[in-house]
Amino acid sequence: PGSSPCRSVIMGAKAVGVELNKKLLNLQAGEHLTPEFLKINPQHTIPTLVDNGFALWESRAILVYLVEKYGKTDSLYPKCPKKRALINQRLYFDMGTLYQSFANYYYPQLFAKAPADPEAFKKIEAAFEFLNTFLEGQTYVAGDSLTVADIAILATVSSFEVAKFDISKYANVNKWYENAKKVTPGWDENWAGCLE
């Protein structure tokens, strides 16, 4: 529940009407390192999806897979190459910049009791500046409707909120976030995971 990548998959599954059979792994106890789990995912990361024997990990790849396999329409991941490319760019931005800035700043504090690193905090602010720019004049992060990019970034931004990062300084992000919370299926479960 504390993992924004896991929460993004939960919201994505809800958006396409897939009921997940969730399995909670205790990472501190090393449950992701058992031989059984390593057979499914040798990279031993979460989330990991197993769909009728097909195993996939990396939350953004799982989101795309769920929409392509189970979506009733292509609205969450349109077939148009330009729209899809923009969504992909935002997904990679989330993975490599936005979520990474969260991990680099907060994880050492949470898991290693390290002091806050002001340089890592500057990377968070830079990531939010980029996101704020992407959202100039936009209701959604990649086009004119909710997509998997919004779902992934919503899970990440909600983690920043629960960590007490001041999102309100970024007007476009703040406006998008308030709307995304209302229109994204599974928001309530996402927020409950954040609070946990």
* Span 131-154, pLDDT tens digits: 999 999 999 999 999 999 999 999
Q: What is the structure's pLDDT at 89? A: 98
Identify the pLDDT of residue 83.
97
Q: What pLDDT, in 10s, does the model give residues 109-139?
A: 999 999 999 999 999 999 999 999 999 999 9
Burial (CB < 10 A; 0-12, 13-18, 19+), residue 9, is: buried
Residue type, 190: N
Helices 59-70 and 4-16, interaxial angle, to 10°? 10
pLDDT in tens, 161-185: 999 999 999 999 999 999 999 999 9
List active site positions. 3
Mean pLDDT of the chain: 97
Predicted pLDDT of residue 35: 96
Please give the pLDDT value at position 187: 98
Rg from Cα positions in the chain = 17
Please confirm whether the linkage preceding 81 is cis (ω < 30° from 0). no
pLDDT at 41: 97
Q: Where are the alpha helices (DSSP H) in 50-138?
A: 59-70, 81-93, 99-112, 118-134
Give all domains of the chain, ordered by start, each with its CATH number: 4-70 (3.40.30.10), 81-190 (1.20.1050.10)
Query: Distance between CA atoms of 65 and 68, rounded to whole angstroms?
Result: 5
The residue written with tokens 């769909």 in the block is: 51
**pLDDT grade for 76, boundaries at 50, 70 and 90:** very high
At 40, the pLDDT band (50, 70, 90 cuts) reads very high
Task: Tell me the percentage of the chain whose pLDDT exceeds 90.
Answer: 98
**Please, are residues 157 and 177 in contact by the beta-carbon 8 Å criterion?**
yes
- Residue 39 tokens read as 């057979």
